[in-house]
Structure 1
Amino acid sequence: MKQMKGLEGDTKSILKFEFNPKDGIDNPALSLAEDTDGKGLGEPRFYLLSKGSAETFGFCLHKELGCRGHVIRQVELGGLAQRRGLQDGDRLLQVNGHFVDHMEHCKVVEKIKASGNQVLLAVLDGGSYEAAKALGRDLSQMLPGDIRPRLCHVTRDKSGFGFSISGPEGAKGTFQLSVRRDGPAERAGLPSGSWLLELNGASVRSCSHTQLARKLKRSGSKMTLLVASSAAEEFYRLWGLRVTAALADASWLPFKVRKLHMVKEPEGYGFLLKEEKCSSGAIGQFLWEVDAGLPAERAGMKEGDRLLAVNGKSIEGLDHQQTVLRIRAHADQVTLLVIDPAGDEFYRSIGLSPLQFFEDSDPASGSCAPSLPSPNGSPGLCHLDVGPEGPGSWLTTAPATIGVAQSLRPEERRRLHQAF
């Protein structure tokens, strides 16, 4: 199916080429007809990309003039994306179960970046995408319903956790939940009839019923469950995809990333940024000495919050000085994403970034980096990468590398702090 140039008068028309045998093989007749049923449209395809920390996903995401949608380009030869089946010209429809076709390009890039080393993409081939748009199809309706698993954090009360588990006798890894009404599990968002996939960040696929019972007892007064509905479990099974917490709906979790927008006053923002070691041993940027009555306190900053992003861009991989420069990039205002110590510890325990589950309900604040052109216009194998100014849609030639500031010695780290 192909659209001819010079016949753009009716943008709703999809052109079909029909061969007329009476005119001979060298002179086929061209007749035009409207494909109003959309039966020729391809189906969305789903890919779960899992990479190592030193790898890339192996593709570029473009926003192109004269081309609708978020376009997959420069699929790296032999790279992860190509091996899984992504193709040049595919249009990205979903990231980790979130429909993104209507979103700003930079926000889509940020969603992929926040996924860390694993991302679930839904794409449609370019021809089917353009045809669906011409027909006025709602692309979101081409995708399955909510197939995300759910991540729930349950706190025990005097009556227990409020759920029970059953499964076929002798079978491993098959556990269905029955949830008591008005109990802790129901209040935590645990759906009755769902299937248990992970307990406290660990898969239960190889567990027997007895082994799982022991794990539940060792959980103490709190536990985190990854569960999926029967429809979601069936979807992932049919596509051969492994369900993990990185793909989950985390809206029921009590641990939330907070967005703080501050306008600077003559006294400053009213907080101190310190570089400190986290409980995991990693280095983080923390917020302390929040001054009463100044913008930081009024925005909701709390002592000990960990800084995650500045003006919509993750500070992952940045050192203290680079973070300070990013905060100072706009002289009179700044937007920070932060998480409190309890939430920070929770996400570390399950090995996921809290940014992965952040939903921006106020897209007007913060900032987005524009897509950048390929250096010198030169061709090359490209990948989605993090530039010196943070995540963005980069076209980076394969041999190119981005320098990382040398780690400071422990005695130097202790002196890193900056008042704002």
Structure 2
Amino acid sequence: MKKRSIYAWALYDWANSAYVTTVIAGFFPVFFKEYFSANVDATVSTAQLGFANSISSFLIVLMAPFLGAIADIGGLKKRFLFLFSYLGILMSAALSFVGEGAWEAAVFVYIIGNIGFMGSNIFYDSLLPTVAGEKELDRVSGLGFALGYLGGGILFALDVWMVQNPALFGLESMEEGVKVSFLSVALWWMVFSLPLFLFVKEEKPDNDFNAGRLVTEGYQRLKGTIRKVVQFKGLVYFLVAYWFYIDGVDTIIRMAVDYGMAIGFEPKHLILSLLIVQFVGFPATLLFAKLGEKWGTKKAILLGIGIYLIITLWAAVMEEVHEFYLLAVMIALAQGGIQALSRSYYARMIPDAYAAEFFGFYNFLGKTAAILGPLLIGTVALFTESSRAGIISVVLFFIVGGIMLLRVDEKKVAKEVRSALG
């Protein structure tokens, strides 16, 4: 039963990572520049995409902590996960019906889809302590991200094949292939999310709550969450560190393809680079999880931050497309590991009874960070008329995040938090 719930939980990453690979990182940035925002200057479309990413992150920021608190009180993690995931599924399918030049409609659907994707992850993350014991957190969290790379990569590879050979699939054009790929994401996400809903059991609260009381209690608990967090200095250090370095990670995920196009690389090279990230990222994430168990989770995260620092500095000066491929391999080595180990590192420091509430706050900070990076790149690109100038600003996030993380002692923090909160 426990193994089944672990694999059912991890399989959700396999399901929803298709949205990241095919929509957020893959076809949407390319299709947005060449189809939805056709005949618009490259720096303007970069700004439009950056602002769309920032707006969706800002909106989920407003909801995340409050909904997390309500989910803990009412035992509603799976229900909220279902609601947000199927919102993302519907919007992914809706992208296939947006016409050429309709960038406003594309941005609207994309923003709502991102809210569905990011919102579902709050409650997915909060179920990690439910399915895994403390000693299993790194391994199980890493398994989720690794399956995400593999599943997202498999569907993305099939979609790339379809887009590049539309006649083989009975389609008339590459554009039609991209639209069908958006539909394929919706179907993939829907089917492979079912095991989590069927086999992961969520503990129900002792008392029944009506809707009005849930909202009131959720608001009170949200205020309490902030008071709880700020009283633990080590937890604050980690969350601030996370805020900075995950900003850099998320910004590179969302803007890498757009950046590559802006500096003159052909879309086919960028798409192939994304496939490399997916299939190298699968074993690399599992290895990073093992490294976290053997070497220490914090040290492994710091290694990932160091790799990203090199990636960002190199990206700002690269000239040749082969450099983009090398950077893709480096991203694949670090991306899943830094995400998975950050999640398990945080899970070690918080009590299970407050998991959704505290993960709501964790995602709140992560999504707040995701506002700043794309917004900064878009703004700098507009004012300097240089995408390279925007990417170099991301370096600051990794430097500050790494310095703050050095000050965290997770065992001491966990002891303080659990002693105070039970």
Q: TM-score, normalised by structure 1?
A: 0.25
Structure with a larger share of its residues in helix: 2
Structure with a larger share of its residues in strand: 1
Which structure has more RCO (C-alpha within 8 Å, separation ≥ 6)?
A: 2
